[in-house]
Structure 1
Amino acid sequence: MADIQFEIKETIGVLSESPKGWKKELNLISWNEKEPKYDIREWSPDHTKMGKGVTLSKEELEKLRDVLGGLSF
């Protein structure tokens, strides 16, 4: 399997942290030197390991914001 290259362009926020130090973060990431996209996933404390996540375009993130804004908790 080919290596995946990534560069975290901007850390937008931490959503949670596990007892082992892994953090679920919303970041702006360039994957394989392509245009950066918004990304939600868990990261090890040193950002060398990652869990499965979801990558969103700006338009998808805006739609998610709108959907979440319509929820009542």
Structure 2
Amino acid sequence: MKFQILKEIAVLKEGKNGWRKELNLVSWNGNEPKYDIRWWPPNKSDIGKGLTLMPEELFQLGEVIPMLSRDLHLLHQG
């Protein structure tokens, strides 16, 4: 699988092995870029498990996340 990381947006988590879960804008096999949440090694020579989102899916997720944070707050109070 061929990929090109067009924009590195955020590191979400770093594992003990040096791999990082990142949010990036990625073009897969020369196709239209999509937002991608995936584990990457330090040199980006391999591809870990992940999730690819169309822009409208990422924006929808952005609308849902604030509601989840309120729910999580209530769970930790209980």
TM-score (norm 1): 0.92
- Following TM superposition, the consecutive aligned residue runs of length 4 or more in structure 1 with deviations greater than 6 angstroms are none
The counterpart of 2:65, out of the listed 58, 63, 68, is: 68
- Matched with 1:35 is 32
Equivalenced residues, count: 70
Unpaired runs of 5+ residues, structure 1, are none
Query: Aligned to 2:48, what secondary structure does the other structure show?
Result: strand
Map 1:13-24 onto structure 2 (within 5 A): 13-24=10-21
Q: Does 1:58 align with 2:55?
A: yes
Percent of aligned pairs with the same residue?
Answer: 51
TM-score (norm 2): 0.86
- Pick the structure with more helix per residue: 2
- Pick the structure with more strand per residue: 1
Q: Does 1:8 align with 2:5?
A: yes
Which has the higher Rg, Structure 1 or Structure 2?
2
Shift of 1:50: 1.7
Unpaired runs of 5+ residues, structure 2, are 73-78
